[in-house]
Chain A
Amino acid sequence: MDIIQHVPIIMIALPVFFAAFTILFRSKSGLQKALNVGVFALLFILSLRLLFYVWDNGILVYEVGEWGKYGILLVADLLGAGMVVLSSLISLMAMIYATDYMDRKALDATFFPLFNLMAAGLNGIFLTGDIFNMFVFFEILVLSSCGLIVLTGRGDHTKMADKLEAIFKYLILNIVSITLMLVAIASLYATVGTLNMADIAVKVAYLAEAGTLPWHFHVIAMTLIVVFGYKAAMFPLHFWLADVHPSAPAPIHAMLSGMVIKVGVYGILRVHYLIFNETMFMLQPILILLSLITIAVGATSAIGQYDLKRMLAYSSVSQIGYVLLGVGMGTAYALTAAIVYLVNHAVAKSMLFLATGETLYHAGTKDIRKMGGFAKSSPFLGSIFLIGAMSIAGLPPTGGFFSKLVLFDAGLSSEYYVPVAIALIFAIFTLFYLFRTWLAIFWGEIKDTDKADAYAGRNPTVAIKVALAFLACVVIYMGVYPEHLLSLSGTIAEQLLDPQPYITAVLERSVR
């Protein structure tokens, strides 16, 4: 058996192993930094290798423990492998950034083990083929991110009491949503008697064909929409995000807004488009309606904010609405657009949050009204922030332009004129608040002239510059050469709408 076929489990097992390893070797700070950056670089290279392998050779199925028919499977199809590449990229950059950004004490105590566990949880969610296993990885992700939010970094002006309050909200809401997911999984198991998602899909199709699909199947689909919608901060469940995400230090904020809320979208794409095909006709209008409200609520809330991180958190709510709009429209072209949008937003938003952490450190405050003129004291941060803002607002030559273009084109081609019009109006809102913020922070004269010397001494270090510059290159690359991402997303969308290859690959493998 070739080593490439072990990559799905390595993506999960290696971070778990290093989580334990970093606890044992806590005191050696320099070794820890080099080792962890090395591990995440290795994971990124392996994930790219996995994506190319899956692109060339089709879906890769890995039996953990070789239990044959009844074991847990890891399935790396194009969607899963693509998401793993995305999460590995962002976690590598966040890790490089964090080595200089986080407080020494936080780095030594808990940052590395928890960050490793978070990466393992993310990779596990994207690669597992078993719905109960997905729940377990959700739980790993939630607990490790709760522990990471408490840690402090250098541009982090949130008090400990506020952080604890944010975690309390996050944890309680997550427990309730995860319990809902468990209830849904138990009901699903009682209905079809299996937890393997491909197997469930086959049995549900069989039941639907026989006309004996029980009514509570639709209730399960709705419950799972609530769970994933909560994860993705969809409209009635978006309120926690603006409290929780800004309380986290910048690298964790980038991970949470870049990847963790995308987990909800991934869940809808994977579970609902694979299993709940029979219910999608009912769910798609709901998704479109809620995503439009999400866009509106997020954009209008962001306009009124003077706290920089909080404003960008509301911007995340608004942007996830665009992704869900594509998911809700449900044609192949719209799903392509949703995936392109998801990738572009993940990269641009995490870059913007990493730059924000450094900007807040530079300014010494989190109030936009007290900032100004930083383009003179830190031109690097100004240009990075500008690229991020352009991508989120959807201006060429960044990736965000193509994601918005494709999304609106998909909406128009399947005759969703009103939703596209509403989304377009709020895209102008996005443009307005992002550029107002950029002008307020980086343009004009320095407001506090006494502090001008202090600003000069608080510029990004080399590691932070490397992480930000790399992400900026990715954003520009996706704007200049969008066809690679478009063709990948198109194939993923086709596979989502026709899950037969996935089912065949999972069920008709050689059973030992």
Chain B
Amino acid sequence: MNDTLLSVSIALVFGIATFMILRRDLIRVAIGVTLLSHATNMLIVSTGAFLGDRAPIITGEEAVSTGGIFIDDLAAGILAPVIPEGTEMAYVDPLVQALTLTAIVISLATTAFLLILCYRLYQEQGTTDVSEIRRLKG
């Protein structure tokens, strides 16, 4: 991950998400949670986006091993996504995209649950201010 701009923007989204989660309004907290999951997804994708610029779709005759992604030859000191010296890297890592898809699906479910929870909480307690929702103590 050499791209400084990418890193800075991911950090920025993380910062905004943290700021939003610390707000007092329920809906802002929900937005913050959504942003947090987006920032994480960007982080995961960025770990795979080294050098390669082609989509990891293998079509027909191009299905040749490019020798970069799936190398893990411990004897030669090569660890999987770490590209050895002089090897050309054609594809971005497809695994991180699968991971991101899973994370997106999970964050979809979480966000839907959270929004409904906020709505029900508003119905029960008549407020969306977190500091007023403090019945449990002791």
Contact = CB atoms under 8 A, between A and B. Distances in A.
Does A associate with B in a complex? Answer: yes
Interface of A: 70, 132, 136, 139, 143, 146, 160-162, 164-168, 171-172, 175-176, 179, 182-183, 186-187, 189-190, 192-195, 202-203, 206-207, 210, 242-243, 247, 305, 307, 310
Interface string B99-115: 10011001001100110
B78 to A, nearest CB: 9
Given A143-B113, A189-B47, A172 B29 contact: yes
A183 B96 contact: no
B88 to A, nearest CB: 18
B81 A190 contact: yes
B138 A190 contact: no
Contact of B43 (A171, A175, A186, A210): A186
Interface of B: 1, 21, 26, 29, 33, 36-37, 40, 43-44, 47, 70, 72, 74, 77, 79-82, 95-96, 99, 102-103, 106, 109-110, 113-114, 117-118, 120-121, 124-125, 133-136, 138
Which 7 A-B pairs give the minimum distances between C-beta atoms? A193-B80, A190-B47, A161-B124, A193-B81, A243-B136, A186-B44, A164-B121
Contact of B82 (A166, A193, A195): A193
Contacts, number: 102
B74 A203 contact: yes
Nearest to B122: A164
B35 to A, nearest CB: 11
Given A167-B117, A202-B74, A186 B47 contact: yes
Contacts of B70: 70
Instruction: Give the secondary structure class of B's interface.
Output: helix
A97 to B, nearest CB: 25
B96 A165 contact: no
A161 B125 contact: yes
A160 B106 CA distance: 26
A175 B99 contact: no
A15 to B, nearest CB: 18
Contacts of A132: 99, 102
Interface centre among A70, A139, A182 (most CB of B within 10 A): A182
B72 A194 contact: yes
Contacts of A182: 40, 44, 103
Contacts of A143: 109-110, 113
Contact of B40 (A166, A186, A190): A186
A115 B37 CA distance: 26
Contact of A176 (B21, B81, B114, B135): B21
Given A143-B109, A193-B72, A179 B117 contact: no
Given A139-B110, A164-B121, A179 B47 contact: no
